[in-house]
Structure 1
C-alpha cells in the first residue's frame, strides 16, 4: 500500500478514535449511564483516583493481551500497533470529558438527547475506524479473535462481550458502593442505537461511494 494511502487511512483512524472518545464522554455526561464498552473503566474511575481515560487504556490493553493470547503465533505484526490505538483512545476519552465538561442536561428529555447525540458520535467514530481498515481497536480485535476461535458470528460474540462487560461493571459497582453506579437506561439505549447507526453510515458509505477518499 503506497505511503499516501496509509497516511490517509491513519488519519481516518485517528479521527475515528477522537470521535469515539468524544461520543463515550457525551453518553457519560448524560448521567444516564455510559456505553457498554466503557462501562468497566468508568465504574473503576468512580471507585479509584484514576481517570476515566487511564482506566480505558488499561482495560483496552488487557483486551489486546487477550487477543494476542487467543491468536497465538499467527498474530499479525502490524496489529501490535493496537497498543498505540489503546493509548490514543484512553487519551481521547479524557480529552472528550474535558471538552464536554460544560454539558449538564437538567431535565430528562435533555439527558436522552445527550445520549442520542453521544451514541451517534460514538457510532461514527467506530465506523471510521472500520473504514480505515488499517489497525484494529483492541476491543473489536478481541471480539473477532473469539468469533474466529469459537466459529461463531461476530455479532453474536459482540453482544455476549458487551453483556459481560456491563455485568462485570455492575459487580464492581456493587462491591465498591453497594449499589449500581454508572449503568442506567442510557447504557441500553447506546448499546442498541450504536449498532443501527453504524449500519446507516455503512449504507451511505456504499451508496455514495465515499470510499474513494481512501483509494490509493
Structure 2
C-alpha cells in the first residue's frame, strides 16, 4: 500500500467504520487481482511481487501468498528494530489485512491460471490493465484510511527515523527488493526472474493511475460535497 498525503485531496473517508473496512477489503481484492494478472502477462512485475514470485521457484511447495505474508512479518520486525520505542502493539493488527491479502492473492492466482496472452501486444495490454486494477485497489485502501501494511509501516518508520522524503525512501526500498530478488534468482535459479520491462512500466504507471483516480474522484464527488455544504449553509441562513 502506498503512503500518501491525499487527505488534502479530499478522498479520505473518515466516516462509517463498517463502510471503510468494506472499502479496504474490496481494495485488497482488486489489488491482488491486478498483481495476479500482471504475473500472467509475463513481461515483468513489481519489485515486491518479483521477490515473492521468485521464492516460489526456489521453494516450489510454498505459495506466493505465504511468502508475501512472511515478507510482511519481516517488515514488522524490522520496523520494531529501527524504532522500538515508537512501535505500538496495535501495529500488530496490520497482520490481519496482510493475511487477507495473502489469501486473496493465492485465490486470484488460482482463478487466473488459464490467462496466457500470446502476442507481445496482448501481454503489454494485459499488464497495463493489471496495473490499472492494482492502482485502483491501492486507491480504495488509501481512501479507507485504516491500517498501514507492514511494508509501508517499515518505510514510514525509516522516514520518521531519518527525516528523509518518504517517496525517496520507498524508491530505495523497492530498488533493494529488486536487488535481493535478482540476487536470489542468480544464486538459486541461474538468472534473475520476473524483472523485465514490465517492472519499469509498473513503477511508472501505478502512481499515475492513482493520481488519475484521485483527480476524477475529487472532481466528481468533491463538487457534490461542496454543493451540498453550500445548500446546507443556505438553508441554515434562512
TM-score, L = length of structure 2: 0.83
Provide the rounded CA distance (Å) in 2 between the counterparts of 1:143 and 1:189: 22
* Residue among 158, 161, 165 paired with 1:153: 165
| 1:124 is the counterpart of 2:136 | yes
| 1:187 is the counterpart of 2:196 | no
State the partner residue of 2:56: 45
Structure 2 runs not aligned, ≥5 long? 1-14, 226-238
Contact 1:78 1:135 (C-alpha < 8 Å) held by counterparts: no
Question: Deviation of residue 208 (structure 1)?
Answer: 2.0
Contact 2:32 2:105 (C-alpha < 8 Å) held by counterparts: yes
Provide the rounded CA distance (Å) in 1 between the counterparts of 2:82 and 2:139: 25
State the partner residue of 2:17: 6
Higher CA-based Rg: 2
Question: Deviation of residue 184 (structure 1)?
Answer: 1.1
State the partner residue of 2:94: 82
Structure 1 runs, 4 residues or longer, greater than 4 Å off: none
Cα distance per residue 1:53-76 (max 9 Å; x no partner): 111111111112222333423334
Q: What pairs up with 1:4-83 in 2 under 5 angstroms?
A: 5-48=16-59, 49-83=61-95
**How many correspondences in the alignment?**
210
Provide the rounded CA distance (Å) in 2 between the counterparts of 1:38 and 1:60: 12
Change (3 A) 1:13 1:151: same
Question: Deviation of residue 93 (structure 1)?
Answer: 1.1
Cα distance per residue 1:159-188 (max 9 Å; x no partner): 111111111100000011111212111111
Provide the rounded CA distance (Å) in 1 between the counterparts of 2:27 and 2:83: 25
Contact 1:30 1:105 (C-alpha < 8 Å) held by counterparts: yes
Provide the rounded CA distance (Å) in 2 between the counterparts of 1:99 and 1:192: 27
RMSD: 1.9
Q: What pairs up with 1:139-150 in 2 under 5 angstroms?
A: 139-150=151-162
Cα distance per residue 1:104-136 (max 9 Å; x no partner): 010100110111111111111111111111111
* Residue among 122, 125, 138 paired with 2:150: 138
Contact 2:50 2:193 (C-alpha < 8 Å) held by counterparts: no
